[in-house]
Structure 1
Amino acid sequence: MSRETIERYYAAFNAGDGAGMLACVTDDIEHRVNEGDIRRGKALFAEFCAHMGTSYREELRDMVIFVTPDGTRGAAEFTVHGTYLQTDPGLPEARGQGYVLPAGAFFDLKGGLIARVTTFYNLADWMRQVSG
């Protein structure tokens, strides 16, 4: 069940389906994003998803998912293929720049849902790609 939850979560991400992503997380989801604050709860996670959908169009490819035998922890490695659509405050100006980044995420899973997701990527690499 845990592997399937992560697969559904990323299928919804790739489809731009925020509601589908929200269906995969607990009400008290802990979202730890690279270079940012910890967001706790579905409402803040939904706000983040909406913001990302406005500022970026991303597709995750080359997905590899790992899950512990007891199904309580997981990880995913993938490549982000994206387009920077709308300027994010404090970041370079968006002009439709494309980027490709290796990234990964770690998960706590409970009751068949994602209770924590921690995402990592190289922000300096992204900045170089969209600033050039």
Structure 2
Amino acid sequence: MSATDTIKRYFDAFNAKDTEAMLACLDAEVAHHVNEGQIRSGKTKFAEFCAHMSHCYDETLTDMVIFEAEDGTRAAAEYIVNGTYLNTDAGLPEARGQSYRLPAGSFFSLTDGKISRVVTYYNLADWIRQVG
């Protein structure tokens, strides 16, 4: 399976809200670099992050473009996050069911066909403006 196939499977699982299928794409020691946050290591921390995000946000990714390095060990994706802010996240504006649409990107490292690093970027100031 190519890196592109793995990344597509990962994002298809995200859009299906299937955390278990997302976890199946990850290396056991995955390094998850959260936008403007700390690095979380391992599938357990990743699953905890997903549970928190699902509580606070309902998101679907569209307009996906995936890029793959020639050797298949790295990939990137650009997409639009279409979301609803469901429950107030600590330190952020109050949730009132606001909708948002936000360009974002992710970078990946792959080891033995599994995602070993996920880095996600989006413009937090733009998101705050949209939900504020």
* Interval containing the TM-score (normalised by the shorter chain): over 0.9
The structure 1 segments of at least 4 consecutive aligned residues displaced by more than 4 Å after TM superposition are none
**Structure 1 residues without counterparts, runs of 5 or longer:** none
* Structure 2 counterparts to residues 100-111 of structure 1, below 5 A: 100-111=101-112
Distance in 1 (alpha carbons) for counterparts of 2:85 and 2:100: 8
Whole-Å separation in 2 of the counterparts to 1:99 and 1:61: 13
**Counterpart residue number, 1:125:** 126
Between the aligned partners of 2:3 and 2:76, the Cα distance in structure 1 is 11
Deviation at 1:69, TM superposition (A): 1.1
Matched with 1:61 is 62
Separation of aligned partners in 1, 2:46 and 2:57 = 16
Query: Percent of aligned positions with the same letter in both sequences?
Result: 63
Q: Secondary structure at the match of 1:70?
A: coil
Superposition RMSD on alpha carbons, in Å? 0.5
Take 1:129 and 1:21, find their aligned partners in 2: how far apart are those partners?
28
* TM-score, length of structure 1 as denominator length: 0.98
Q: State the number of aligned residues.
A: 131
Q: Distance in 2 between matches of 1:104 and 1:33?
A: 12
Task: Indicate the residue corresponding to 1:43 in structure 2.
Answer: 44
Shift of 1:73: 0.4
